[in-house]
Structure 1
């Protein structure tokens, strides 16, 4: 036992002998109300080259940033300590690279972002141009934070505000946690998904508040093991798997867990959406939704395998995507519309192995009665169902 304490003592001495190096952007020419792209890039490069843990500091104050890419791999764990507000230009046409995101961080292992600061995308002017759903020639607007191939990392205690497009895009990442992370945008901001996560695995979203104009969290193809817990969503369009099926090479989605979440005044609560008349044949499996509060939500639960906005597809050919192994348990609260739940599964690939239990939803309007809609699904029921669901 004594030898273990001796080893621990010398280990602590070794850690204290090499405290994290600090790289403050002010030491690289970064000044409030000025573009800090060059200063932040220089601080990052030095920190990333350090052989011991390092911290890049953006201090309190408001700093302008036109656009930046922070790239690894780094030689040791690296922390980005954002204490102030980093603000994007309002005019996206003035960005150095109009086809890139605002802040891109790629190929970093053991990254920490924290500090209580704000990434302000300054997106109000751009939202009027964000009509990609209707206009295939729309302008490509930048995402606030793009994380590509990040591993073993945590993003906590910071805010992304008023992005011109999605707030956060997570691609090719593994073992990444968002904790006490805040998304802030008005409900009428267009296409401003809070977090879009795809082709990643073992992603955790915990104790977060997401207020935006589109999906609070959208889940793309290739997603494996996503755990969402204690997230408050609203305004927004809910937590959505999809839309999926439009691309022929899309990959399976498996292991989605949504627990102890609250939806306030959202368009949707939990949602799965797939395109009909689409070539993709991927599978969506192991979806688990438990212990969820719906507060005046328009569509608390919706499985929509006929997702076809703005008539961009044909409904005569059903979706080829299989939804299976899904549990929906302990969902309580109020629905803003009389149709509390919709399970519209594919005629060709009916939903299978679905278990629904302990649903207690009340209609807050006056155009009742409260109902549910079901197609191509034969679920198993556990506990009470209010309102009655499908054949129950």
Structure 2
């Protein structure tokens, strides 16, 4: 019988320049990690980079909601990573999908507290690669600051623009989520300086299907794309979000949106 394994690291709330990651997979092929509890690391729980054919199953990832930079799983420059049947409670992104991520699958993950499931941020560093072919399905987000989020930096010198395309977010349940659906191409977080000018990251072929639940904010959908390279081929199919504190609004700029089925709240571009 497989026994659960618990990784524990004491957590201290103070500022340091580098917080060690608990588990790092770098340059790994054909690996499976399952039935692990990761508890209170000082930095990321899992960091996966330049790897392929990785399976993460039945994980329990937990840190306090006020713990900074404790992302659950960060994935970059990796192909065919699958995360399934896991619970992630953290103070930052539950799952962060970074540049160079291709053919990822996230299925039956419960996230919260935390910052939600994020693509990006993209366009921050030199020599980034395209992100493409990501599926997030059958997931539940509880009390997170964001639900599904795509974020890119505004224009930065010496950063070669990349493309991010082929994203499917399907059968997602939001429970008291502050910002359920976000595309933010003016993101400027993490203490980085931003240059005035629109993002050059091209976003396209993004599908939001069967997303419902509740939000604590007044704005359920916020799609803010770049004026230089507007979002193309964004689909909203059967969106049903209710406000716990009153009526909801939805907004979008610089995006070509295709609507199908129920749309609550109504989004006009």
* TM-score normalised by length of structure 2: 0.96
Compute the RMSD of aligned alpha carbons.
1.4
Out of 134, 149, 170, the position equivalent to 2:48 is 170
Deviation string for 1:52-105 (max 9, x for gaps)?
xxxxxxxxxxxxxxxxxxxxxxxxxxxxx9xxxxxxxxxxxxxxxxxxxxxxxx
Is 1:238 aligned to 2:116, yes or no? Answer: yes
Larger % of strand: which?
Answer: 2
Equivalent position of 1:199 in the other structure: 77
Is 1:120 aligned to 2:8, yes or no? Answer: yes
Superposition deviation, residue 139 in structure 1: 2.4
Superposition deviation, residue 149 in structure 1: 1.4
Residue-pair matches, total:
267
Out of 200, 207, 227, the position equivalent to 1:327 is 207
Out of 150, 164, 172, the position equivalent to 1:272 is 150
Deviation string for 1:167-198 (max 9, x for gaps)?
11001111111000110111011100000000
- 1:186-225 paired onto structure 2 within 5 Å: 186-225=64-103
C-alpha distance in 2, partners of 1:333/1:267? 14
Is 1:258 aligned to 2:136, yes or no? Answer: yes
Equivalent position of 2:20 in the other structure: 142
- Structure ranking higher on relative contact order (CA contacts 8 Å, 6+ apart): 2
C-alpha distance in 1, partners of 2:126/2:25? 24
C-alpha distance in 2, partners of 1:256/1:342? 20
Superposition deviation, residue 117 in structure 1: 1.4
Superposition deviation, residue 311 in structure 1: 6.7
Is 1:357 aligned to 2:237, yes or no? Answer: yes
Larger Rg belongs to:
1
Deviation string for 1:217-275 (max 9, x for gaps)?
00111101110000000000001011110112110000110000000000001001100
Contact 1:277–1:313 (8 Å) recurs in 2 = no
SS in 2 for 1:331: strand
C-alpha distance in 1, partners of 2:167/2:18? 32
- 1:102-113 paired onto structure 2 within 5 Å: none
Is 1:370 aligned to 2:248, yes or no? Answer: yes
C-alpha distance in 1, partners of 2:24/2:59? 15
C-alpha distance in 2, partners of 1:209/1:364? 24
SS in 2 for 1:337: coil
C-alpha distance in 1, partners of 2:96/2:194? 23
C-alpha distance in 2, partners of 1:284/1:310? 21
SS in 2 for 1:231: strand
C-alpha distance in 2, partners of 1:301/1:347? 20
- Which 5+ residue runs of structure 1 have no aligned equivalent? 1-80, 82-113, 130-137
Contact 1:276–1:313 (8 Å) recurs in 2 = no
Q: Where in structure 1 do 4 or more consecutive aligned residues deviate above 6 Å?
A: none
Equivalent position of 1:13 in the other structure: none
Contact 1:306–1:315 (8 Å) recurs in 2 = no
Larger % of helix: which?
Answer: 1
* TM-score normalised by length of structure 1: 0.66
C-alpha distance in 1, partners of 2:25/2:34? 14
